[in-house]
Amino acid sequence: MEQSAGYKKFLLLIGSVLLSALIIALLIHENYFFDTLDNERITVYKKKSIPERLSAGQFVILTTPENVKKYLHDKGLSAPTKKFYVKEIGGDEGDTFYIERGQFYINNGLVGSVYRIDSKGRVLSNIEPGRKQIVKSGNALLVETGKDYPFDSRYFGEIEKRNIISLAKPVYSFKKSKFF
């Protein structure tokens, strides 16, 4: 009889753990996004509502914009395989951007270098050097910092904000191991 009571407690504990895991999984699925695009890290982002005006430094979750798909196709590069991406906002509508002497600027602030051609001799940037441009209404600029070869607005230009699904607040990041 004692084993039976212990067995019932064990089943109750297992059931509670499984139910808790299911609830947590549903919460995570709805409110969190796991980004595994980076080859070295996995980052967990909390989804947040999109404000009327975006600010530089905010992260967003977005679908691949049509102009980015066209850019990749025109350059003979492979199409994106992920459904959603996380990128950092570099500029919003009304902000200025330009390329000067191989450097990309947003609102006169240096973002980073622009590679003119790739290893196959293809011209990379669609932005005309030396010409200041203003981000159109309903558009934004994306940036990637801290990477040797970023893929962002310095190459494909503005993106339409309608591709943005939500803001993304980084919650936790960890290095990938041999198991991921």
Here the CATH number for the domain that contains residue 157 is: 2.10.109.10
Domain assignment of residue 113, yes or no: yes
pLDDT at 97: 96
Domain assignment of residue 63, yes or no: yes
pLDDT at 38: 60
pLDDT at 135: 97
Q: Which residues of the chain are under the pLDDT cut of 70? A: 1-3, 19-29, 36-40, 79-80, 176-180
Q: What is the pTM of this model?
A: 0.75
pLDDT at 37: 62
Interatomic CA distance for residues 157 and 163, integer angstroms: 14
pLDDT at 117: 83
Q: How many CB atoms lie within 10 A of CB 155?
A: 18
The enclosing H or E element of 9 equals helix 2-31
Give residue 113's domain range: 36-175
**79/109 same-domain check:** yes
Strand, helix or coil for residue 95: coil
pLDDT at 22: 56
Please give the structure tokens belonging to residue 60: 């967003």
pLDDT at 23: 55
pLDDT at 179: 46
**69/144 same-domain check:** yes
pLDDT at 106: 96
Q: How many domains does the chain have?
A: 2
**81/26 same-domain check:** no
Domain assignment of residue 180, yes or no: no
**158/97 same-domain check:** yes
